[in-house]
A = this chain, B = another copy of it.
Amino acid sequence: MSTGTTLANIRNLLHQSGFKLTPQREATVLVLLENEKDHLSAEEIYMLVKKKSPEIGLATVYRTLEMLTELKVVDKVSFNDGLSRYDVRKEGAKHFHHHLLCLECGSIEEVEDDLLGDVELIVEKKYHFLVKDHRLTFHGICSKCQLKKKEQAVLDKEAAATTLP
Protein backbone atom coordinates (compact mmCIF):
# COMPACT_ATOMS: atom_id res chain seq x y z
CA MET A 1 0.00 0.00 0.00
CA SER A 2 1.52 3.23 -1.11
CA THR A 3 1.97 5.82 1.60
CA GLY A 4 0.61 8.56 -0.64
CA THR A 5 -2.35 7.38 -2.57
CA THR A 6 -5.05 6.22 -0.21
CA LEU A 7 -8.73 5.66 -0.32
CA ALA A 8 -9.26 8.76 1.82
CA ASN A 9 -7.32 10.92 -0.60
CA ILE A 10 -9.27 9.61 -3.51
CA ARG A 11 -12.53 10.17 -1.71
CA ASN A 12 -11.58 13.79 -1.16
CA LEU A 13 -10.57 14.20 -4.75
CA LEU A 14 -13.85 12.83 -6.02
CA HIS A 15 -15.78 15.10 -3.77
CA GLN A 16 -13.76 18.16 -4.74
CA SER A 17 -14.24 17.32 -8.36
CA GLY A 18 -17.99 17.10 -7.99
CA PHE A 19 -18.26 13.36 -8.35
CA LYS A 20 -20.30 11.14 -6.10
CA LEU A 21 -18.73 8.37 -4.11
CA THR A 22 -20.65 5.24 -4.92
CA PRO A 23 -19.92 1.81 -3.47
CA GLN A 24 -18.97 0.63 -6.93
CA ARG A 25 -16.40 3.35 -7.33
CA GLU A 26 -15.02 2.66 -3.91
CA ALA A 27 -14.71 -1.05 -4.62
CA THR A 28 -12.91 -0.31 -7.86
CA VAL A 29 -10.43 1.98 -6.17
CA LEU A 30 -9.80 -0.61 -3.47
CA VAL A 31 -9.05 -3.27 -6.04
CA LEU A 32 -6.66 -0.95 -7.82
CA LEU A 33 -4.89 -0.10 -4.58
CA GLU A 34 -4.63 -3.74 -3.55
CA ASN A 35 -3.16 -4.72 -6.88
CA GLU A 36 -0.85 -1.83 -7.54
CA LYS A 37 1.86 -3.90 -9.08
CA ASP A 38 -0.25 -5.96 -11.38
CA HIS A 39 -1.12 -3.85 -14.42
CA LEU A 40 -4.61 -5.18 -14.63
CA SER A 41 -6.83 -5.01 -17.67
CA ALA A 42 -10.38 -3.72 -17.36
CA GLU A 43 -11.72 -7.25 -17.46
CA GLU A 44 -9.38 -8.41 -14.73
CA ILE A 45 -10.33 -5.45 -12.58
CA TYR A 46 -13.98 -6.21 -13.21
CA MET A 47 -13.60 -9.78 -12.00
CA LEU A 48 -11.91 -8.62 -8.80
CA VAL A 49 -14.37 -5.81 -8.14
CA LYS A 50 -17.25 -8.22 -8.61
CA LYS A 51 -16.14 -10.01 -5.47
CA LYS A 52 -16.65 -6.85 -3.46
CA SER A 53 -19.65 -5.54 -5.38
CA PRO A 54 -21.35 -8.52 -6.97
CA GLU A 55 -24.04 -6.61 -8.84
CA ILE A 56 -21.60 -4.41 -10.69
CA GLY A 57 -21.59 -4.32 -14.48
CA LEU A 58 -18.53 -4.25 -16.70
CA ALA A 59 -19.60 -0.96 -18.26
CA THR A 60 -19.53 0.63 -14.81
CA VAL A 61 -15.99 -0.51 -14.28
CA TYR A 62 -15.00 1.02 -17.59
CA ARG A 63 -16.70 4.29 -16.70
CA THR A 64 -15.04 4.38 -13.33
CA LEU A 65 -11.62 3.68 -14.77
CA GLU A 66 -12.15 6.39 -17.34
CA MET A 67 -13.13 8.90 -14.69
CA LEU A 68 -10.15 7.99 -12.50
CA THR A 69 -7.87 8.31 -15.50
CA GLU A 70 -9.15 11.79 -16.28
CA LEU A 71 -8.67 12.75 -12.65
CA LYS A 72 -5.11 11.45 -12.98
CA VAL A 73 -5.61 9.01 -10.15
CA VAL A 74 -5.04 6.17 -12.58
CA ASP A 75 -2.71 5.77 -15.54
CA LYS A 76 -3.91 3.96 -18.58
CA VAL A 77 -1.31 2.20 -20.71
CA SER A 78 -1.67 0.43 -24.03
CA PHE A 79 0.70 -2.21 -25.22
CA ASN A 80 0.35 -3.85 -28.60
CA ASP A 81 -2.12 -6.46 -27.52
CA GLY A 82 -5.39 -4.66 -27.85
CA LEU A 83 -5.93 -4.29 -24.10
CA SER A 84 -5.55 -1.29 -21.89
CA ARG A 85 -3.96 -1.62 -18.45
CA TYR A 86 -4.67 0.53 -15.46
CA ASP A 87 -2.31 1.51 -12.65
CA VAL A 88 -2.87 3.71 -9.65
CA ARG A 89 -0.68 6.73 -10.01
CA LYS A 90 1.83 7.11 -7.24
CA GLU A 91 1.10 10.40 -5.62
CA GLY A 92 4.04 12.72 -5.84
CA ALA A 93 5.79 10.47 -8.30
CA LYS A 94 8.16 12.56 -10.37
CA HIS A 95 7.72 10.45 -13.41
CA PHE A 96 5.64 7.73 -14.79
CA HIS A 97 7.03 4.31 -14.02
CA HIS A 98 8.24 2.24 -16.92
CA HIS A 99 7.36 -1.24 -18.06
CA LEU A 100 9.24 -4.35 -19.05
CA LEU A 101 7.01 -6.35 -21.34
CA CYS A 102 8.06 -9.94 -21.95
CA LEU A 103 7.43 -10.98 -25.52
CA GLU A 104 7.36 -14.65 -24.53
CA CYS A 105 5.01 -14.86 -21.59
CA GLY A 106 3.38 -11.44 -21.69
CA SER A 107 4.38 -10.59 -18.14
CA ILE A 108 4.76 -6.95 -17.25
CA GLU A 109 7.24 -5.69 -14.69
CA GLU A 110 7.69 -2.19 -13.39
CA VAL A 111 10.76 -0.06 -13.37
CA GLU A 112 10.62 2.77 -10.86
CA ASP A 113 14.04 4.16 -11.60
CA ASP A 114 14.19 7.49 -13.31
CA LEU A 115 15.72 6.35 -16.55
CA LEU A 116 15.13 9.51 -18.49
CA GLY A 117 16.92 12.16 -16.49
CA ASP A 118 16.37 15.51 -18.12
CA VAL A 119 15.04 14.13 -21.36
CA GLU A 120 11.71 15.89 -20.97
CA LEU A 121 13.46 19.22 -20.77
CA ILE A 122 15.42 18.40 -23.89
CA VAL A 123 12.27 17.52 -25.74
CA GLU A 124 10.54 20.69 -24.61
CA LYS A 125 13.38 22.89 -25.72
CA LYS A 126 14.33 21.18 -28.93
CA TYR A 127 10.89 20.30 -30.18
CA HIS A 128 8.84 23.04 -28.53
CA PHE A 129 6.59 20.39 -27.11
CA LEU A 130 5.06 20.95 -23.69
CA VAL A 131 5.55 17.58 -22.06
CA LYS A 132 2.85 16.46 -19.64
CA ASP A 133 3.64 12.81 -19.30
CA HIS A 134 5.43 9.98 -20.99
CA ARG A 135 5.35 6.26 -21.52
CA LEU A 136 8.39 4.06 -21.81
CA THR A 137 8.09 0.36 -22.41
CA PHE A 138 10.87 -2.13 -23.03
CA HIS A 139 10.04 -5.17 -25.13
CA GLY A 140 12.20 -8.18 -24.47
CA ILE A 141 12.58 -11.44 -22.61
CA CYS A 142 12.12 -11.66 -18.86
CA SER A 143 14.59 -13.53 -16.68
CA LYS A 144 12.18 -16.43 -16.21
CA CYS A 145 11.76 -17.00 -19.92
CA GLN A 146 15.49 -16.59 -20.46
CA LEU A 147 16.02 -19.41 -17.96
CA LYS A 148 13.35 -21.45 -19.66
CA LYS A 149 15.01 -20.95 -23.01
CA LYS A 150 18.34 -22.04 -21.58
CA GLU A 151 16.80 -25.13 -20.07
CA GLN A 152 15.01 -25.87 -23.30
CA ALA A 153 18.24 -25.48 -25.21
CA VAL A 154 19.89 -27.96 -22.86
CA LEU A 155 17.04 -30.41 -23.27
CA ASP A 156 17.13 -30.03 -27.03
CA LYS A 157 20.84 -30.73 -26.98
CA GLU A 158 20.38 -33.84 -24.90
CA ALA A 159 17.58 -35.07 -27.13
CA ALA A 160 19.79 -34.62 -30.18
CA ALA A 161 22.64 -36.47 -28.48
CA THR A 162 20.31 -39.33 -27.59
CA THR A 163 19.03 -39.64 -31.13
CA LEU A 164 22.41 -39.89 -32.71
CA PRO A 165 23.43 -43.50 -33.43
Contact = CB atoms under 8 A, between A and B. Distances in A.
A127 B146 CA distance: 12
B139 A136 contact: no
Given A84-B80, A116-B115, A129-B109, A139 B146 contact: no
Contacts of A78: 78-80
B143 A139 contact: no
Interface string A133-149: 11111111111001000
Contacts of A100: 123, 127, 129
Residue from A78, A100, A126, A139 whose CB has the most chain B CB atoms within 10 Å: A78
A100 B125 CA distance: 13
Interface string A3-16: 00000000000000
B140 A129 contact: yes
Contacts of A146: 128, 130
Contacts of A21: none
For the complex of A and B, list the 5 residue pairs with the smallest distance between their C-beta atoms, beginning with the closest: A128-B143, A130-B141, A78-B78, A131-B140, A133-B139
